[in-house]
């Protein structure tokens, strides 16, 4: 049976979901702009391929960490964490909050931060190819090789 109360509840959920989606999208854009801005400054000033590769590895590692945090929060059991919080263990109170909001935390870590950083790693890969060679014939092969390496490191992580 469908009542007016159910309809009102669904409309409120839809509005909340739209608001959450907009906020998450803005966070993703802000993260991408900040990381991209600082990495561009560093690579433009130095132009060194080694620094570009270091930034790429850092971005990949941060993406792996974000994915791991999101997965851990989603898989965590609240009972042992509550026991630690009752014993006033350091960080247990924060862990309880994270596990209680695991769906949102995992979404932000895995789908926002992780995806943004993984996308940026591809952009940095292309930047490295451009820094290595300007020959279009070589760029295709280098792009494939660097993309394969980025994917391998990300999946292994």
Q: According to the 3-state scheme, what is the secondary structure of the chain?
A: CCCHHHHHHHHHHHHHHHHHHHHHHHHHHHHHHHHHHHHHHHHHHHCCHHHHHHHHHHHHHHHHHHHHHHHHHHHCCHHHHHHHHHCCCCCHHHHHHHHHCHHHHHHHHHHHHHHHHHHHHHHHHHHHHHHHCCCHHHHHHHHHHHHHHHHHHHHHC
Residue 90 backbone phi and psi in degrees, to 5: -65, 130
Query: Which carries the bigger pLDDT value, residue 23 or residue 38?
Result: 23
pTM above 0.75, yes or no: no
- Cα separation of 51 and 68, whole Å? 26
Residue 61: band (very low, low, confident or very high) from pLDDT cuts 50, 70, 90: very high
115 pLDDT more than 60: yes
Task: With beta carbons less than 8 A apart as the criterion, state whether 70 and 106 touch.
Answer: yes
Give the pLDDT of residue 44.
65
Angle at the Cα of 115 (from 150 to 12), degrees rounded to 5? 170
């Amino acid at each position: 049976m469908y009542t007016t109360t159910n309809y009102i509840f669904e409309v409120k959920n839809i509005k909340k979901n739209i608001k959450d989606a907009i906020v998450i999208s803005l966070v993703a854009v802000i993260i991408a702009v900040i990381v991209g801005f600082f990495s561009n400054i560093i690579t433009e000033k130095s132009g060194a391929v080694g620094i570009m590769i270091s930034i790429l590895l850092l971005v990949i590692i941060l993406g792996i960490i974000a994915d791991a945090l999101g997965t851990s929060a989603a898989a965590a059991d609240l009972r042992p964490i509550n026991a630690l919080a009752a014993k006033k263990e350091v960080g247990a109170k924060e862990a309880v909050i994270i596990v209680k909001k695991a769906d949102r935390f995992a979404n932000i870590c895995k789908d926002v931060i992780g995806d943004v950083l993984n996308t940026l790693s591809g952009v940095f890969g292309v930047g490295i190819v451009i820094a290595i060679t300007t020959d279009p014939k070589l760029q295709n092969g280098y792009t494939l090789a660097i993309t394969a390496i980025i994917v391998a490191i990300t999946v292994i992580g």
